[in-house]
A and B are shown apart, each in its own frame.
Chain A
Amino acid sequence: QSVLTQPPSASGTPGQRVTISCSGSSSSIGSHYVYWYQQLPGTAPKLLIYSSDQRPSGVPDRFSGSKSGTSASLAISGLRSEDEADYYCAAWDDSLSGPVFGGGTKLTVL
């Protein structure tokens, strides 16, 4: 069982806006930045959002992150077929003294 909780699945049609939630605790999200990773089928995860709401260069501004208290969200606007992937949230956890990941959300573009 993952320390960070994500919905197992999400879906949307092209052009729509979808959000993926990530719930943690005071020792993880409540005290530290949140990171989001995108894993396309058959590939390694790729950093999508860092420091809760920052995008690495090359990541489209259709992707945005936010954090409030012990929860965080990833929003994808203008959904495209190439966004179909697994999305993982992550944060440092003081109880573990290390990173923890969410269980992942499989995004389907209908």
Chain B
Amino acid sequence: QVQLQESGPGLVKPSETLSLTCTVSGDSISSYYWSWIRQPPGKGLEWIGYIYYSGSTNYNPSLKSRVTMSVDTSKNQFSLKLSSVTAADTAVYYCARRGAAAGTVWLDPWGQGSLVTVSS
């Protein structure tokens, strides 16, 4: 079955860049869309953006100026970079597979999540 696993530093200093990678197993990344979602401690879910294997992206307008997503089909991985982070970016970051249909919020499966804390 398809499995996703986030990896990256758990601690990032303010003003620096948060970098996470999601490794996909059990399915080729060259299908579907691949998403990033985050959840601040004790709070709800926030969509960050998604990327297609071709490299086309769609970002949340509230984060667009700071977000970059990329895909590496040779490694079956996709990545997230969030620049100029502040304490407000402290959250559990999830990667998930998104359905192919336009306008869908079909997200399945999800990775287990990676807690990133922004602190000096």
Q: Name B107's closest neighbour in chain A (CB-CB).
A: A47
Q: Does any Cβ of B come within 8 Å of A107's Cβ?
A: no
Q: Are A44 and B112 in contact (CB under 8 A)?
A: yes
Contact of A98 among B47, B94, B107 (CB under 8 A): B47
Query: Which residues of A sit under 8 angstroms from B108, Cβ to Cβ?
Result: 46-47, 56
Query: Which residues of A sit under 8 angstroms from B60, Cβ to Cβ?
Result: 96, 98
Q: Are B44 and A97 in contact (CB under 8 A)?
A: no
Q: Name B113's closest neighbour in chain A (CB-CB).
A: A44
Q: Which 4 A-B pairs have the closest CB atoms?
A: A44-B110, A47-B108, A92-B103, A99-B105
Known A-B contacts A44-B111, A96-B60, A96-B61; A90 and B105 likewise in contact (beta carbons under 8 Å): yes
Q: Does any Cβ of A come within 8 Å of B58's Cβ?
A: yes
Question: For the complex, what is the distance from the CA of A37 to the CA of B112, rounded to whole Å?
Answer: 15
Q: Name B47's closest neighbour in chain A (CB-CB).
A: A99
